[in-house]
Amino acid sequence: MLVLAATPLGDPRDASARLREAIATADVIAAEDTRRFKTLAAALEVTYTGVVISHYDAVEEARMPRLLDDLRAGRTVLVVSDAGMPAVSDPGYRLVAAAAAEDLKVTCLPGPSAVTTALVLSGLPCDRFCFEGFAPRKDGDRRRWLAQLEHEPRAVVFFESPHRIADTLALAAEVLGPDRAAAVCRELTKTYEEVRRGGLGALAEWAAQGVRGEITVVLAGAAPTEAPTVESLVGAVQERVEDGERLKDAVAAVASAAGVPKRELYNATLKQ
């Protein structure tokens, strides 16, 4: 059986009884960082007898044949990341997909997640949300990514490096506006846990002073915009017609973009 298990974000007391049992009984333990896994096992006072192998991004593909062989042979393979849930911006999903393709048994031991922990601490509406993984590293890619979030109605959760958080928040304030609400959560469940809430502009000023630790950002969903009336779109149709476009084509293009009935817009334009 392939077992993916959530590990504590920081405080080892968040470990479940099932995680302790899985560590103690697994035949193979695929850990994102073997040293951090051994530190966790020691903190939990759990003795493991399984073989511990590294399983981080750069070696995930290379490890898969061996791990699949273990599963085919009836061994239990436990996958753990440094913190939180494996396969969520961490190694694991490729192995799950390969095991599922062969109809090998896969299960998950639920537990801590930085995504949901940050959401509930943000104080922002989070009945609907999307997870964006890590923010793009390059400025151009990051600007385009933020532009795509301008009208996103759901709360947005993403991870960021402490070395880039100031630049990301400053750019977010520029692209999305300084008043867009957000929360920056760092060192979740650890001794120096901190949650900063406010507009992107204020958060960017705070981050410019330097931020340390593991960071999860929650961005408020965009405020809903009022749907345009048919009458308010007549001017756009007339401009296109003045530029040489056929009335029928102009109406079709504007109506499609605004999500209004073409016939109503056509009739409203003729009345002007």
Written as tens digits, the pLDDT of the chain (272 aa) is 999 999 999 999 999 999 999 999 999 999 999 999 999 999 999 999 999 999 999 999 999 999 999 999 999 999 999 999 999 988 999 999 999 999 999 999 999 999 999 999 999 999 999 999 999 999 999 999 999 999 899 999 999 999 999 999 999 999 999 999 999 999 999 999 999 999 999 999 999 999 999 999 999 999 877 777 888 899 999 999 999 999 999 999 888 888 889 999 989 998 87
pTM: 0.78
Per DSSP bridges, beta strands 215-219 and 155-160 are: antiparallel
Query: Cα separation of 4 and 85, whole Å?
Result: 8
Query: Cα separation of 217 and 188, whole Å?
Result: 11
Domains and CATH numbers, the chain: 2-109 (3.40.1010.10), 114-219 (3.30.950.10), 231-271 (no CATH)
Secondary structure element (H or E) that encloses residue 230, with its range: none
